[in-house]
Chains A and B, each alone.
Chain A
Amino acid sequence: MVAIYPIHLKAVEVRKSGKCLLGPLDLTLAPEGFTIVMGPNGAGKSTLLKTLHGMERVRGGTRTWAVPETEALTRQAFVFQTPVVMRRTVLDNVAYPLTLRGVSKPEAQAAAQGWLSVVGLSNAAAQRASDLSGGERQKMALARALITEPEVLLLDEPCANLDGQATREIENLLLNAHENGMRIVMATHDNGQARRLASEVLFLHKGKLLEQTPAPQFFETPQTPEATAFIAGDIVA
């Protein structure tokens, strides 16, 4: 099977009601790695991730995967900052993407049970998902994203609303998935988290891509004044 990455964005622009949210931007992401997208609020992190996921309509420029778009879209998954909690049990929430693909209910539920034990939610399987805490909801969302065994996992600040313990658990799950060969692209504005996870950093500011640098180099010697200020914890104007 051909890998879906590298993905190439060329002069890509995303606009909403006349405002330019992102770009024009050129970017190539290699088939391997743990890419962290950094930048202040409103820099376009979410928009970039949604563009990579094919959820955002691109105005101008091109976006090409190594495989046709329709195939690429089925081989990646997305985790949102605020997990979407379906009005079902935890087990059925996680099984949902498989049932969409025509997997029989018992089979999908068995798989969901397996992923729930991976994220440590086995005991909550029969609970209503709306009863879960914030950290548990995000772990459920992660299990729901992983169940289709995507090649590329995109995450939009998945730990923004979580405490230290839950954040650590999510990070460990992501590192494990990455070790098993999953390509991960994740947005965060948490410096510490970026240092712990990243193999490569994309730094966005005001919709423009200012840096694409291997992680150690980015944190040692950032090339732009904006990134330098951001890493130092200053407010980037």
Chain B
Amino acid sequence: MGDILQGLYEAGRLIVTLDADLLEISLRSLYVTLTAVAIAALIGLPMGAWLAVRRFRYRRSVIALLNALMGLPPVVVGLIVYLLLSRSGPFGVFGLLFTPTAMIIAQVIIITPLVASIAHQAIRELWAEYHDLLISLNTTRGQRMRTLIWDGRRALLTAALAGFGRGIGEVGAIMIVGGNIDHVTRVLTTAIALETGKGDFALALGLGFVLIFLAIIVNLLIHSLSQTEVRGRW
């Protein structure tokens, strides 16, 4: 109990004194995960819509696979991205290993199936509602997907937030591909792992609380900006 109180005190101290290191790694955490979420949304939302609108032979299998990929172990993703980006790997020439870009790549791989799968669930319901109208208006597949994504945007926000939640707290993959290098690739989660390893539980816990605050604030901010739950069902 004492450790936890110590941690809360440490979190308060870090925030009140606007600790420069804390600010830096917090912003890096946000940068990496928000970028990854944005890219994952650009891929995952149209993919979810496409899977809802399109009927093809292996559709069920693809959806089942997508749902399975939601549980992709981050450590394994990290390992594979590491091998791909390492000097001897196929993308070694880009020199991306141990950079924030490598961390973003790993997180995009982890988050995209989650975003696509939740988006597919939401859009499938909306498609059932809109089906007759969109068919009778002779819409093209692209028009259907755009209409469904736009009209389902509030439900799709949940998909993006779920992706953010998974990314911001993730440590396994970014530790491997980022390397937790001070002032280069250190983020909140990797810093917590490091401080715990060093036995500085107060600092680790302090960072942990900061991480939780950050996640809550981002969620609240997005909800208030998009007016969810303010104006009824949508």
Q: Which residues of A contact B (CB under 8 A)?
A: 53, 55, 73-74, 77-78, 80, 84, 86-88, 96-97, 100, 128, 130
Give, as a whole number of angstroms, the nearest-CB distance from A66 to chain B.
18
Bound-state CA distance A77–B136 (Å) is 7
In the bound complex, do residue B132 and residue A130 qualify as a contact, i.e. CB atoms below 8 Å apart?
no
Residue on A with the closest CB to B151?
A87
B76 at the interface (CB under 8 A from A): no
* Of listed B138, B139, B147, residue having the most chain A CB within 10 A: B138
Across the interface, do B151 and A97 meet the contact criterion of CB distance under 8 Å?
A: no
Chain A contacts for B152, CB-based, 8 A:
87
Give A130 Cβ to nearest chain B Cβ, in Å. 7
User: With an 8 A cutoff between CB atoms, is B130 at the interface?
Assistant: yes
Does B136 lie within 8 Å of A55, measured CB to CB?
A: yes
A96 CB contacts on chain B under 8 angstroms: 137, 147
- The answer to whether A88 and B137 touch (CB under 8 A), given A80-B132, A100-B143, A130-B232, is no
Q: Is the interface of A mostly helix, strand, loop or mixed?
A: mixed
Most buried by B among A74, A86, A97: A86
Contact B133 A86 (CB under 8 A): yes
Q: How far is the CA of A97 from the CA of B138 in the complex (A)?
A: 10
Question: Contacts A87-B233, A100-B143; is A74 near B138 (CB within 8 Å)?
Answer: yes
In the complex, residue of chain A having the shortest beta-carbon distance to the beta carbon of B133: A84
In the assembled complex, the Cα of A55 lies from the Cα of B233 at a distance in Å of 30
Given contacts A55-B136, A80-B136, A84-B130, 15 further A-B contacts (CB under 8 A): A73-B138, A77-B136, A78-B136, A80-B132, A86-B130, A86-B151, A87-B126, A87-B152, A87-B233, A88-B151, A96-B147, A100-B137, A100-B139, A100-B143, A128-B234
- From residue B111, how far is it (CB to closest CB) to chain A in Å? 26
List of A residues within 8 angstroms of B143 by Cβ? 100
Find chain B residues with CB under 8 A from A128 CB: 231-232, 234
Chain B nearest CB from A47 CB (Å) reads 13
In the complex, what distance in Å separates the CA atom of A150 from the CA atom of B133?
Answer: 15
CB distance from B136 to the nearest CB of A (A): 4
Secondary structure type dominating chain B contacts: helix
- Nearest-neighbor residue (CB-CB) of A93 within chain B: B133
Interface readout for B114-139 with A: 1 if CB under 8 Å, 0 if not?
A: 00000000000010011011011111
- Interface residues of chain B, those whose CB is within 8 Å of chain A, are 126, 129-130, 132-133, 135-139, 143, 147, 151-152, 231-234
Q: With A73-B138, A74-B138, A100-B143 as given contacts, are A80 and B133 in contact (CB-CB < 8 Å)?
A: yes
Q: Could you jot down 20 A-B contacts, CB within 8 Å?
A: A55-B135, A55-B136, A77-B136, A78-B136, A80-B133, A80-B136, A84-B132, A84-B133, A86-B147, A86-B151, A87-B126, A87-B152, A87-B233, A88-B151, A96-B137, A97-B137, A100-B137, A100-B139, A128-B232, A128-B234
Alpha-carbon separation in the docked complex, A198 to B229 (Å): 47
> Whole-angstrom distance from the CB of B133 to the nearest CB of chain A?
4
Complex contacts, A74 vs chain B, CB 8 Å:
138
Beta-carbon contact of A84 and B129 below 8 Å: yes
Residues of chain A contacted by B151 (CB below 8 angstroms): 86-88
**What residues of chain A lie closer than 8 Å to B136, measured between beta carbons?**
53, 55, 77-78, 80
Report the minimal beta-carbon distance from A154 to chain B, rounded to whole angstroms. 9
Measured CB to CB, the nearest residue on chain B to A131 is B232
Q: Shortest CB–CB separation between residue A192 and chain B, in angstroms?
A: 27
Of residues A74, A77, A97, which shows the largest number of chain B Cβ atoms within 10 Å of its Cβ?
A97
State A69–B156 Cα separation when bound (angstroms).
36
Chain A residues with CB under 8 A of B147: 86, 96
Q: Which residues of B contact A55 (CB under 8 A)?
A: 132, 135-136
Chain A residues contacting B231 (CB-CB under 8 Å) are 128
A182 to B234 alpha-carbon distance, docked (Å): 36
Give the Cβ gap from B148 to chain A, nearest Cβ, in Å.
10
Contacts of B132 in A (CB 8 A): 55, 80, 84
